């Protein structure tokens, strides 16, 4: 919704919501319980994702660190607009 992919009319009624969030600035942490269509849309997007679910906790912190470093480097790449991290 915040990326402008769905519920456009509803999001237009949210006070302060000016424009969609750039998916390059979004990480979804712990994503699970998605069907193949949803998984394909996530993979095709520019959103970062750390998959959750059964058996994913063994390397979770390591994968989160890798994704953040890959996406945002050492912090120099994050400007005043910041990032959106969705924790599930």
Angle at 11 between CA 8 and CA 14, to 5 degrees: 160
Give the pLDDT confidence of 10-34 residue by residue, as tens digits. Answer: 988 989 888 888 888 888 888 888 8
Give the chain as a DSSP string.
-TTSSS-HHHHTTSTT--SPPPGGGEEEEEE-S--HHHHHHHHHSS-EEEE-STT-STTHHHHHHHHHHHHHTTTTT--TT--EEEE-
CA distance 53 to 18: 33
Domain boundaries, the chain: 21-87
Confidence (pTM): 0.67
- What's the pLDDT at 37? 94
Give the pLDDT confidence of 30-76 residue by residue, as tens digits. Answer: 888 889 999 898 889 888 888 887 666 778 888 888 888 877 776 55
- What's the pLDDT at 87? 73
């Amino acid at each position: 919704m915040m990326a402008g992919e769905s519920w456009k009319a509803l999001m237009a009624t949210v006070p302060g919501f000016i424009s969609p969030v750039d998916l390059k600035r979004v990480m979804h942490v712990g994503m699970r319980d998605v069907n193949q269509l949803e998984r394909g849309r996530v993979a095709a997007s520019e959103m970062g994702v750390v998959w959750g679910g059964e058996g994913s906790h063994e390397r979770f912190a390591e994968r989160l660190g890798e994704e953040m470093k890959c996406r945002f480097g050492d912090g120099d790449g994050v400007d005043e607009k910041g990032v959106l991290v969705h924790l599930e």
